[in-house]
Amino acid sequence: MSTTKVVLGVVAGLAAGALLGVLFAPDKGSETRKKISKKSSDTVDDLKDKFEELLSDLTEKFEAAKEEASDLYEKGKYKAEEIKKDAKAHMS
């Protein structure tokens, strides 16, 4: 299971637990609504942070893979040129 799925599952579980805790608390309706609103806002902020972190990680990995692919391409190109030179040398 990927780390992202685990993190999102934990955050969703925390949000659900907090919501249930607020709903079963013996407070007035207006207080409960305020608590739900605050918890929702906090959860949204947490999810935004996790999403930005995930996006940053993916971008970093993509850039690293892109750089590695470019290096492999250059090495392959160089090797092909050497083989071409060797073939011409043997043909002469």
Each domain of the chain, given as residue ranges in start order, spans 3-91
Give the pLDDT of residue 41.
Answer: 85
pTM greater than 0.85 (yes/no): no
Give the pLDDT of residue 74.
Answer: 94
Structure tokens, 18:
């907090």
Q: Would you list the DSSP string of 53-88?
A: HHHHHHHHHHHHHHHHHHHHHHHHHHHHHHHHHHHH
pLDDT tens-digit map of 20-71: 776 777 767 777 778 778 888 888 888 889 889 989 999 999 999 999 999 9
Give the pLDDT of residue 92.
Answer: 67
Which residues fall within 8 angstroms of residue 43, CB to CB, at 6 or more apart?
Answer: 11, 14, 15, 18
